[in-house]
């Protein structure tokens, strides 16, 4: 049988962790024939809670789960990691300025980047979920000089899946009829969900919708602000849907995107579509043989161009802020 893949998960005692770990251990992420070894990272005060989650994982008797280790030391938790899901981060609390948020997370992601650099496996793949996800990934990547840059990604798959769901409801077609959805830019309210390249049953989604008012006034803001709407309705932020998106992201990265489709991942830019090189920005990507590549040569009309540019400008601002703090 296959040898286990080592999966490190940070923020393991948090809300997303509570959904994510069970999906990973069940085989939903790496497939039904790949055993997994979990390595959980938490801050010291949450180690007891992480232990409780590990007890529940044990109680599931998952056939694919070959072991669980828990630590509050990134050097231990990332030892031999082949997949690292960086979920834990410092949430924005009342009265906290954006600069405070960036610097609190800067401390976390510089340290975790260095620990990944020194202790993870050679075939490491990193997904950053903790917000601000793109910039946290940028910080980790820049603090892991020995890890190839393309191994660092951030999550916009939840936004992508939200866009699929909104479009599916609008056109009354199943999500399986939709191809080529794209989220461009930052995982934030400036992100641009693009219906001009998406297709429903092989036709351009924007044309199937045929309602610019809905596209601009409903679809785009609904996807951009869905996180806030979930908090409003549920009293806590998206957790199971975020975990599901993380599973989708890693599964497609490892096992490949379907031949007739692409997905959205925030990845280090190579300058494609005018996005400054090295920024972690969301693009349409295909995956094959464990590597992603940015879909090339899509035409962006003026409407799309302006929205991509606005979100990328926000990423540049965040990069400049953390660069100014000496975090890169």
CA neighbor of 74 nearest in space, from 35, 44, 37, 41: 41
* Active-site residue, from 119, 180, 187, 249: 187
17 has binding-site annotation: yes
Output the six-digit token pair for 195. Answer: 């219906």
> Smallest distance, Å, CB 32 to ligand NAX?
26
**Residue 187 known to be catalytic:** yes
> Smallest distance, Å, CB 49 to ligand NAX?
7
Angle, CA 109 vertex, CA 318 and CA 114 arms, to 5°: 125
What residues between 97 and 116 interact with ligand NAX by CB under 6 A?
108
Choice between 41 and 181, CB closer to ligand NAX: 41
Choice between 102 and 300, CB closer to ligand NAX: 102
Binding residue (CB under 6 A) for ligand NAX from 130, 193, 268, 284: 130
181 lies in the binding site for ligand NAX (CB under 6 A): no
Binding residue (CB under 6 A) for ligand NAX from 68, 87, 140, 312: 87
What residues between 40 and 79 interact with ligand NAX by CB under 6 A?
41-43, 46
> Smallest distance, Å, CB 235 to ligand NAX?
12
3-state SS of the chain?
CCCCEEEEEECCCCHHHHHHHHHHHHCCCCCCCCCEEEEEECCHHHHHHHHHHHHHHHHCCCCCEEEEEEECCHHHHCCCCCEEEECCCCCCCCCCCHHHHHHHHHHHHHHHHHHHHHHCCCCCEEEECCCCHHHHHHHHHHCCCCCCHHHEEECCHHHHHHHHHHHHHHHCCCHHHEECCEEEECCCCCCEEECCCCEECCEEHHHHHCCHHHHHHHHHHHHHCHHHHHHHHHCCCCCHHHHHHHHHHHHHHHHCCCCCCCEEEEEECCCHHHCCCCCEEEEEEEEECCEEEECCCCCCCHHHHHHHHHHHHHHHHHHHHHHHCCCC
48 has binding-site annotation: no
What residues between 143 and 172 interact with ligand NAX by CB under 6 A?
155, 158
What residues between 6 and 45 interact with ligand NAX by CB under 6 A?
10-11, 13-17, 41-43
Choice between 72 and 177, CB closer to ligand NAX: 72
**Residue 18 bridge partners (DSSP):** none
Choice between 75 and 288, CB closer to ligand NAX: 75
267 lies in the binding site for ligand NAX (CB under 6 A): no
15 has binding-site annotation: yes
State yes or no: cis peptide before 132, omega within 30 of 0.
yes
Residue 273 to residues 155, 184, 296, 300, 316: CA-CA distances in angstroms? 19, 10, 8, 9, 15
91 lies in the binding site for ligand NAX (CB under 6 A): yes
> Smallest distance, Å, CB 67 to ligand NAX?
19
129 has binding-site annotation: yes
Residue nearest to ligand NAX (CB): 14
What residues between 232 and 251 interact with ligand NAX by CB under 6 A?
237-239, 242
Binding residue (CB under 6 A) for ligand NAX from 110, 131, 224, 263: 131
12 has binding-site annotation: yes
Task: List the binding residues for NAD(+).
Answer: 11-17, 105, 112, 129-131
What does the binding site for ligand NAX look like in residue numbers (CB under 6 A)? 10-11, 13-17, 41-43, 46, 87-91, 108, 129-131, 133, 155, 158, 187, 227, 237-239, 242
Residues with catalytic roles? 187
């Amino acid at each position: 049988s296959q040898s286990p893949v080592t999966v490190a998960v940070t923020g393991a005692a948090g809300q997303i962790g509570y959904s994510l770990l069970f999906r990973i251990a069940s085989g939903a992420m790496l497939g039904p024939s790949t055993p997994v070894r979990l390595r959980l990272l938490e801050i010291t005060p949450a180690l007891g809670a992480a232990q409780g989650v590990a007890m529940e994982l044990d109680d599931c008797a998952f056939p694919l789960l070959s072991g669980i280790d828990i630590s509050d030391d990134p050097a231990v938790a990332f030892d031999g990691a082949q997949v690292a899901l960086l979920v834990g981060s410092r949430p924005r609390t009342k009265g906290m300025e954006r600069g405070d948020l960036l610097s609190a997370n800067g401390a976390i992601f510089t340290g975790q980047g260095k620990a990944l650099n020194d202790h993870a496996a050679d075939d490491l793949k990193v997904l950053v979920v903790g917000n601000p996800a793109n910039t946290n990934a940028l910080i980790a990547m820049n603090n892991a000089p020995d890890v190839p840059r393309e191994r660092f990604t951030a999550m916009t798959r939840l936004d992508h899946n939200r866009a699929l769901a909104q479009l599916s409801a609008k056109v009354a077609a199943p999500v399986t009829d939709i191809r080529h959805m794209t989220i461009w830019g930052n995982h934030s309210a400036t992100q641009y969900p693009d219906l001009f390249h998406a297709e429903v049953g092989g036709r351009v989604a924007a044309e199937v919708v045929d309602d610019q008012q809905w596209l601009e006034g409903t679809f785009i803001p609904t996807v951009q602000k869905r996180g806030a709407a979930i908090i409003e309705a549920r009293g806590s932020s998206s957790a199971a849907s975020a975990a599901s998106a993380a599973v989708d992201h890693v599964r497609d990265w490892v096992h490949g995107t379907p031949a007739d489709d692409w997905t959205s991942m925030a990845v280090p830019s190579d300058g494609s579509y005018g996005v400054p090189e090295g920024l972690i920005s969301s693009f349409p990507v295909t995956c094959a043989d464990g590597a992603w590549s940015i879909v090339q040569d899509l035409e962006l009309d003026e409407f799309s161009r302006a929205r991509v540019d606005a979100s990328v400008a926000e990423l540049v601002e965040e990069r400049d802020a953390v660069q100014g703090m000496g975090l890169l």
